[in-house]
Amino acid sequence: MRSRRRLDMETSSAFLFFTFTVMLCLALPSSAADGSGYSNGASDEAPMEKAEKEALYSAIRGFVGDWWNGSDLYPDPCGWTAIQGVSCDLFNGQWYVTSLNIGPVHDNSLDCAAKPLFTSHLFDLRHLKSLSFYNCFVSPDQTLPSDTYWDALSGSLESIEFRSNPGLVGGIPSSFGSLLNLRSLVILENGLKGTLPENLGNIPGLQRLVLAGNRFTGPIPSTFGRLSELLILDMSRNYLAGQLPASIGDLASLLKLDLSNNLLQGKLPSELGKLRNLTLMDLRNNNFSGGLTQSLQEMESLEELALSGNPVNGELNILEWQNLKSLAVLDLSRMGLRGEIPETFPQLKKIRYLGLSNNSLSGVLPPDLETLPNLSALYVNGNNLTGEMKFSAGFYSRMGRRLGAWDNPSLCYNADELGPTGNFPCRVRPCGDEKLEEEEKEMTVGHISRGKRLGGDGDVGGNSYLLPPLGFPSNGVSGFQCCNFCVDVLLLAIVLNYFL
């Protein structure tokens, strides 16, 4: 799932630019490795200090194992015998190592030993700008070198990446906060734990901070608000708790904020409204409460807003939703929201995914929703909507299974409009059909219906979308239609523009 997200096409041009700069770091080593990056010109002849060469061999041998004899295999590691995952640059006519990528990225990458070691020689590579480990620390209980070592690289390191190293435990070395040239710090899907060092907020040019998928605990330090150049902040899938600090609103450049699947609580700070450039905010599955915060309506660049699975409660209508003109994905399911679906929703012309399921919404389903040109999924199931759904036959057929309106006891659809062979909304009864109404009530108490419910509520937080519909007529005949959610989960994965 993660790797698919990583490859998703990005639509935001600003992010594309950023991705490009980051990918550059990843791309360089491979071009160096097949020699093409450095195959021509006099630079081939450039010398390399013996100490630098020995430090490189020794650092790599620590990670890949003692069998690896660099001086034998790669006598000219920055020149004609380039090492996969290593790239170099010229400084005063000498080669120095600038990038080191360890782990099975390519077929001929440097694979790690069972117990990879950080040797002190790694920290002798004083021109190292980019250091990355992918799937390297796999066996349990390995830790990062202590603080003092990292200080040696504070003048050079611009990018650190630890990705998919499940055996890596312990905390983030607090000296990472002294790596003042860092632009990107990615600690993704490892076993790291402990609280987040406050001094990470001191890194003036940090543009990307990804700490997702570890076991970090404690609060989000308010010092992170000093990261005025930050474009991407992803700390999802940890155990972060406490309130979201008000200083989050100081992250003026931020484009993407993902804090989903943590234990954050309290009211969403009104300072979030200051994030005028933010395009994605994902706070799903936390413990936020206290009603929606009105200033969210000022986040005018938002394209994707996902708040589902928080006991926020309060009124849906507290926001002028029509101000969020760029919204393409809006996921507000499982939030305990009350009130009616705003009549202004149909002004959100870019919306593709609208999820309002499992709240306490009442009133009618605005028929104008069908005028939204790009709407491809609409979930309002599990509410208390009433009256007649007044969509056209064309809309029902366009939406198919991606229109979720079931579990609204007093909602019915306009059967006359559709005729006998139309595309009926899934598990909604036709208006005026008392017999079917009874039938549905019976099903709602039975175990069959329970299974259906688990099979998908149109919210994106759950796991079990795969249960097939049991015991329901498969198509149209009695107004109950097959509901299959595999499609929708895929759709949402594509629709939600995940970074990393």
Ligand X SMILES: *[C@@H]1O[C@H](CO)[C@@H](O)[C@H](O)[C@H]1NC(C)=O
* DSSP one-letter string for 76-120: STTTTTPPTTEEEEEETTEEEEEEEEESSSSTTS-PPPSS----G
Contact call for residue 350 and ligand X (CB under 6 A): yes
Q: Is 58 in the site for ligand X (CB under 6 A)?
A: no
Question: Which CB sits closer to ligand X, 72 or 107?
Answer: 72
CB 452 → ligand X: shortest distance, Å? 11
- Residue 245 token pair: 């600090």
265 sits near ligand X (criterion: CB under 6 A): yes
Task: Rule CB under 6 A: choose which of 158, 161, 189, 457 binds ligand X.
Answer: 457
Q: What is the CA radius of gyration of the chain?
A: 27
User: Crossing angle for the helix pair 434-445 and 447-454, nearest 10 degrees?
Assistant: 80
Of 171, 269, 291, 336, which one interacts with ligand X (CB under 6 A)? 336
119 binds ligand X (CB under 6 A): no
**Between residues 250 and 258, which has the closer beta carbon with respect to ligand X?**
250
Among 90, 263, 487, 490, binds ligand X (CB under 6 A): 263
* Cα–Cα dist 200/197, whole Å: 6
- The size of the chain, in residues, is 500
What is the spatial distance between Cα 437 and Cα 418, in angstroms, rounded to a whole number? 18
- What part of residues 60-89 is at the interface with ligand X (CB under 6 A)? 69, 71-72
Q: Tell me how far, at minimum, the Cβ of 487 lies from ligand X, in Å.
A: 18
Q: N- to C-terminal Cα distance for the chain?
A: 11
Q: Decide if 389 contacts 404 (C-beta within 8 A).
A: no
Of 132 and 279, which CB lies nearer to ligand X in the complex structure? Answer: 279
Residue of 425, 348, 330, 347 whose CA lies nearest to 385: 425
Taking contact as CB under 6 A, which single stretch among the options 2-10, 193-201, 358-366, 414-422 is the one that binds ligand X? Answer: 358-366
Residue 135 CB, shortest distance to ligand X, in Å, is: 25
Residue with token string 């079990």: 464
Q: Is the dihedral of CA 348, 354, 359, 365 positive or negative?
A: positive
CB of 39 or CB of 253, closer to ligand X: 253
Return the closest-CA partner of residue 160 out of 117, 210, 87, 86: 210
Q: Min. distance of Cβ 296 from ligand X in angstroms?
A: 18
Tell me if 279 contacts ligand X by CB under 6 A. no
Least distance CB 371 / ligand X (angstroms): 11
Cα–Cα distance measured from residue 235 to residue 257, given in angstroms and rounded to the nearest whole number: 8
289 touches ligand X by CB under 6 A: yes
Minimum distance from CB of 438 to ligand X (Å)?
A: 19
Classified as helix, coil or strand, 7 is: helix
Q: What is each CA distance from 430 to 54, 135, 276, 362, 460, in whole angstroms?
A: 78, 54, 44, 19, 27
x/- mask, ligand X, residues 361-380, rule CB under 6 A, reads: -x----------xx------
Q: Answer yes or no: are the C-beta atoms of 316 and 332 closer than 8 Å.
A: yes
Kindly state the smallest distance separating residue 201's Cβ from ligand X, in Å. Answer: 17
For ligand X, how many residues bind (rule: CB under 6 A)? 25
299 contacts 322 by C-beta, under 8 angstroms: no
Q: Does 37 bind ligand X (CB under 6 A)?
A: no
Indicate the residue among 28 and 112 with the shorter CB distance to ligand X.
112
The distance of closest approach from Cβ of residue 15 to ligand X in the complex, given in angstroms and rounded to an integer, is: 11
Stretch that binds ligand X, among 356-364, 393-401, 470-478, 485-493 (CB under 6 A): 356-364
Stretch that binds ligand X, among 16-24, 355-363, 440-448, 490-498 (CB under 6 A): 355-363
Joined tokens for residue 427: 């598990």
Q: How far apart are CA 267 and CA 287, in angstroms?
A: 9
Q: Residue 358 interacts with ligand X (CB under 6 A)? A: yes
Cα dihedral: 160, 165, 166, 168 (round 10): -60
Which residues, in sequence order, are CB contacts of 388 under 8 Å at separation 6+? 364, 412, 413, 414, 431
Q: Site map for ligand X, 396-435, x if CB under 6 A?
A: ----------------------------------------
Least distance to ligand X, CB of residue 57, Å: 8
The smaller minimum CB distance to ligand X, of residues 246 and 454, is found at 454
Shortest distance in whole angstroms from residue 75 CB to ligand X: 10
Q: Which residue among 84, 277, 295, 347 contacts ligand X (CB under 6 A)?
A: 277
- CB closer to ligand X, 223 vs 386: 386
453 binds ligand X (CB under 6 A): yes
Q: 182, 184, 186, 159: which is closest to 172 by C-alpha?
A: 186
107 binds ligand X (CB under 6 A): no
Contact indicator for 221, 194 with CB cutoff of 8 Å: no
Q: For binding to ligand X (CB under 6 A), which residues are involved?
A: 14, 69, 71-72, 252-253, 263, 265, 277, 287, 289, 311, 334, 336, 349-350, 358, 360, 362, 373-374, 384, 386, 453, 457
